[in-house]
């Protein structure tokens, strides 16, 4: 008995909360009770969930989250889920189908679905050349058996139906199933059309739960981009045999590179997984695509008379946001570096100014896509949370950082509640994840006494209720969200108990670990000479890093996770990397803009990390700057007041700090937290009858009959774009 108590005491000491270890560590989450574990890295937001659970435990004097959400409450969650699922479902159609739809919709109905795709999908991801695709649709209706044409048409129909409402999700799934038999032959081509097919699958997978994992589809698309030479400007304009490509082919290659890159960076960011690209964004030199309407882009060249259209301007601005996300992730969520050491570092203010600049230069009209100026402001807030929440680089943010996170999350919660209710944006799983992140961030910020003093409990409770309402609406598309509602009510109750005291619940870091620089460092456990102090030596090349572990922290031992292929940089590579110097701001742009960063002669303060020297490289032989994709567009864009096409997101980090995969800290207590997270956020709840079955053939007929009456009419938006943005 005494031995057991001693063992429990030692376990409590080892598992004591350490902010840096909690934030830096990755996790393996089971999304279903009997599902295999999935990897989530630090940038996914899993760490802030741990911190919220830790705060709930402290406020309830609990040793584990199971005490915060006892077994009785867990059963109550399941009962509430079953009650909600047993409501009358006579008008509810299943969201999945097991029967492919053999027939295409009538021709006129297909045209209208294509219009929906153009307005709702092409605005952010211009995957297809519209005039060419409409011609190919006619070929399919005339009996063409080309696998790519048949696959793409059925996927466009499926995506359009998914963007309409959940009522047609099952019918959309039947067209998705009908497209799959054409996939293998389409991918066998290994050309640009095959890449378009992969992008369409990824788009569909982000809209609704599917049998296809978007992460793997996008990974294949990245490799195909590399094989086709789309990742460098020098090769994007040429065929594999070196011949120049026509303007239409070049434009489509640039489009698909940026679409796949955006998907890849977005998924790596949301899942906390390494990006498939092996270079930092400073070295991406592929130019953006043409901003004019597709009917002006031909194989013979860009026809005169075209002006930039809103949809493509929105897409370009969205892609620039991905590079801002990547810069933040590289600085704060990968290998630990000397700077920034805290959120008062000049890097944060400079990065914040860039985010403000990005929002100020965004398109001011959404053109029916839902991507309005308010939407861009919400994306800025998401990046602010990404910057100022606890990160592996800054595990203990200041109260000012918590204040920024609180304000940004409160705005986003209200905005997302409105967006879900009005259907103005797609309810993707990434959107749903950002809703959870905002709620977690509000709860985490309450661990600071200053935040609680500034915001009364009634105000905070009102914001949290808005978030819970949004989660209820999101559950219609993503059923797993329902299982978290009652759990969050318990977590909210526990966290709000912090208002009963002026005590701080911020988790501190007694340790100051440097990230291991090689696989050997991760897999080789240090020898432990004392439970109170452990000193290890991590060796990489000729360098030695001494790491002191204080009492209450966990030393690095063998990871329970599978071995990941961590890359090891040779000493020579390190020397080459350190010799690289970034260009000054004066080389980033050729056309000045009022909102651009000032040059070296400006009196405005700018942050220059130690060791920076101005590059002497001048790109006089080429028409674009190969260190940046942001080459200048016309300064004045007719019909688009307020959008600054010359906005740049020049890097604020040193280019010699190359991309290095994040390393997992094998914390012994991590599995316990991950299991609890999986159990209570994704429990094995009863499956309602309408969710347990698939769409029948009779239901497909019923939905097809109602589709013509319910499909939104977007023709006015297409006409308005033509009238507004094609003026000479």
Q: What is the pLDDT of residues 346-361, one digit of tens each?
A: 999 999 999 999 999 9
Among 43-47, 318-322, 566-570, the range scoring the smallest mean pLDDT is 566-570
Q: How far is CA 559 from the centre of its chain?
A: 27
Among 195-209, 266-280, 492-506, 662-676, the range scoring the smallest mean pLDDT is 662-676
Q: How far is CA 574 from the centre of its chain?
A: 30
Residues 6+ apart with CB under 8 A from 266: 322, 325, 430
Residues 6+ apart with CB under 8 A from 451: 399, 402, 403, 406, 445
Measure the CA–CA gap between 605 and 491, rounded to whole angstroms: 43
Which position has the higher pLDDT, 57 or 403?
Answer: 403
pLDDT at 709: 81
Whether 243 contacts 249, CB under 8 Å = no
pLDDT at 536: 35
Which position has the higher pLDDT, 525 or 344?
Answer: 344
Measure the CA–CA gap between 113 and 109, rounded to whole angstroms: 6
Please report which confidence band the pLDDT of residue 528 belongs to, taking 50, 70 and 90 as the band edges. very low
Could you state, in order of their start, the residue ranges of all structural domains in the chain?
13-92+397-507+668-710
pLDDT tens by residue, 94-112: 777 888 998 999 999 999 9
pLDDT tens by residue, 417-438: 998 888 888 888 788 888 989 9
pLDDT tens by residue, 43-66: 666 666 666 667 766 666 555 555
Integer angstrom CA distances of residue 298 from 122, 128, 193? 18, 13, 17
Measure the CA–CA gap between 47 and 399, rounded to whole angstroms: 18
Q: How many C-alpha atoms does 551 have within 13 Å on its Cβ side?
A: 7
Q: Which structure tokens are listed for 172? A: 């959309």
Q: Which of 66, 63, 14, 54 is nearest to 504 (CA)?
A: 54
Which position has the higher pLDDT, 209 or 383?
Answer: 383
Out of 83-97, 280-294, 653-667, the most confident range is 280-294
Q: Is the pLDDT of residue 16 over 60?
A: no
Q: Which of 3, 188, 77 is nearest to 686 (CA)?
A: 77
Q: Which of 336, 492, 396 is nearest to 17 (CA)?
A: 396
SS3 337: coil
* Range list of H helices, 124-246: 130-141, 147-164, 169-179, 183-187, 192-207, 214-227, 233-236
Q: Which helix (H) or strand (E) holds 535?
A: strand 533-540
Mean pLDDT, the chain, rounded, equals: 72
Give one word for 541, left, alpha or beta, with left for phi > 0 and alpha for psi -120 to 50.
left
Please report which confidence band the pLDDT of residue 711 belongs to, taking 50, 70 and 90 as the band edges. confident
Q: Which structure tokens are listed for 43? A: 């940038």
Whether 646 contacts 633, CB under 8 Å = yes
Tokens 């799934």 belong to residue: 173
Out of 280-294, 395-409, 424-438, the most confident range is 395-409
pLDDT at 565: 38
Q: Is the pLDDT of residue 157 over 90?
A: yes
Q: Is the pLDDT of residue 126 over 90?
A: yes
CA angle 277, 651, 312 (to 5 degrees): 70
Q: Is the pLDDT of residue 320 over 80?
A: yes
Which position has the higher pLDDT, 46 or 700?
Answer: 700
Percent of the chain with pLDDT over 70: 59
Among 64-68, 227-231, 628-632, the range scoring the smallest mean pLDDT is 628-632
pLDDT at 78: 59
Measure the CA–CA gap between 254 and 554, rounded to whole angstroms: 47
- In this structure, what DSSP letter does residue 424 have? -
pTM: 0.69
- In this structure, what DSSP letter does residue 392 have? S
SS3 334: coil
Tokens 């659970």 belong to residue: 53
Out of 89-93, 205-209, 224-228, 363-367, the most confident range is 224-228
Q: Is the pLDDT of residue 448 over 90?
A: yes
Which position has the higher pLDDT, 478 or 610?
Answer: 478
Angle between helix axes 46-59 and 670-681 (nearest 10 degrees) is 90
pLDDT at 460: 95
Which position has the higher pLDDT, 37 or 345?
Answer: 345
């Amino acid at each position: 008995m005494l031995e057991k108590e001693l063992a429990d005491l030692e376990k409590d000491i080892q598992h004591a909360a350490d902010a840096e270890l909690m934030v830096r560590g990755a996790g393996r989450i089971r999304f279903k009770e009997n599902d295999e574990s999935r990897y989530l890295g630090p940038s996914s937001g899993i760490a802030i969930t741990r911190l919220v659970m830790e705060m709930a435990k402290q406020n309830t004097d609990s040793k584990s989250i199971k005490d915060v959400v006892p077994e009785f409450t867990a059963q109550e969650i399941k009962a509430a889920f079953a009650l909600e699922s047993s409501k009358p479902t006579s008008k509810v159609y299943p969201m999945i189908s097991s029967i492919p739809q053999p027939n295409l919709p009538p021709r006129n109905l297909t045209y209208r679905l294509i219009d929906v795709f153009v307005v709702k999908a092409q605005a952010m991801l211009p995957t297809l050349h519209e005039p060419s695709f409409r011609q190919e649709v006619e070929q399919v209706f005339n009996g063409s058996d080309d696998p790519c044409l048949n696959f793409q048409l059925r996927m466009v129909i499926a995506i359009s139906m998914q963007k309409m409402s959940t009522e047609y999700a099952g019918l959309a799934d039947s067209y998705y199933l009908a497209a799959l038999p054409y996939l293998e032959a389409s991918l066998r081509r290994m050309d640009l059309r095959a890449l378009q097919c992969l992008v369409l699958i990824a788009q569909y997978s982000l809209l609704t739960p599917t049998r296809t994992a978007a992460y793997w589809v996008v990974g294949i698309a990245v490799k195909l981009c590399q094989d086709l030479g789309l990742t460098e400007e020098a090769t994007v304009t040429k065929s594999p045999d070196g011949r120049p490509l026509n303007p239409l082919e070049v434009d489509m290659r640039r489009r698909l590179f940026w679409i796949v890159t955006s998907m890849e960076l977005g998924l790596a960011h949301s899942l906390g997984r390494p990006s498939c690209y092996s270079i930092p964004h400073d070295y991406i030199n592929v130019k953006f695509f043409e901003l004019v309407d597709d009917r002006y882009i031909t194989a013979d060249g860009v026809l005169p008379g075209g002006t930039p259209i809103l949809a493509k301007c929105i897409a370009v601005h969205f892609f620039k946001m991905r590079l801002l996300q990547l810069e933040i992730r590289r600085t704060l969520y990968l290998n630990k570096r000397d700077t920034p050491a805290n959120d008062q570092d000049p890097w944060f203010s400079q990065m914040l100014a860039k985010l403000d600049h990005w929002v100020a230069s965004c398109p001011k009209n959404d053109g029916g896509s839902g991507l309005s100026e308010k939407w861009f402001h919400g994306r800025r807030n998401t990046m602010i949370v990404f910057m100022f929440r606890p990160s592996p680089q800054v595990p203990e943010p200041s109260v000012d950082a918590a204040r920024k996170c609180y304000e940004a999350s409160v705005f986003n919660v209200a905005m997302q509640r409105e967006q879900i209710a009005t259907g103005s944006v797609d309810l993707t799983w990434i959107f749903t994840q950002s809703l959870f992140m905002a709620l977690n961030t509000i709860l985490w910020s309450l661990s600071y006494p200053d935040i609680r003093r500034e915001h009364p409990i009634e105000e905070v409770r009102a914001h949290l209720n808005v978030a819970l309402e949004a989660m209820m609406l999101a559950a219609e598309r993503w059923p797993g969200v329902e299982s978290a509602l009652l759990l969050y009510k318990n977590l909210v109750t526990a966290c709000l108990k912090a208002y009963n005291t002026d005590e701080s619940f911020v988790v501190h870091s007694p340790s100051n670990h440097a990230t291991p620089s090689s696989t050997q460092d991760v897999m080789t456990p240090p020898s432990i000479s004392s439970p109170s102090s452990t000193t290890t030596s991590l060796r990489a090349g000729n360098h030695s890093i001494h790491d002191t572990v204080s009492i209450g922290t966990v030393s690095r031992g063998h990871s329970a996770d599978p071995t990941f292929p961590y890359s090891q940089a040779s000493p020579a590579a390190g020397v080459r990397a350190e010799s690289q110097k970034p260009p000054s701001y004066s080389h980033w742009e050729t056309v000045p803009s009022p909102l651009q960063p000032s040059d070296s002669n400006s009196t405005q303060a700018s942050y220059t990390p130690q060791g920076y020297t101005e590059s002497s490289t001048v790109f006089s032989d080429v028409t674009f700057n190969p260190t940046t994709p942001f080459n200048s567009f016309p300064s004045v864009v007719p019909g688009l007041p307020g959008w600054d096409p010359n906005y740049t997101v020049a890097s604020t980090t040193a280019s010699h700090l190359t991309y290095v995969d994040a390393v997992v800290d094998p914390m012994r207590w991590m599995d316990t937290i991950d299991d609890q997270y999986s159990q209570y956020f994704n429990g094995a709840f009863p499956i309602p009858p309408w969710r347990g079955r698939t769409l029948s053939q009779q239901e497909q007929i019923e939905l097809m009959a109602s589709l013509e009456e319910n499909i939104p009419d977007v023709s006015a938006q297409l006409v308005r774009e033509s009238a507004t943005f094609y003026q000479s």
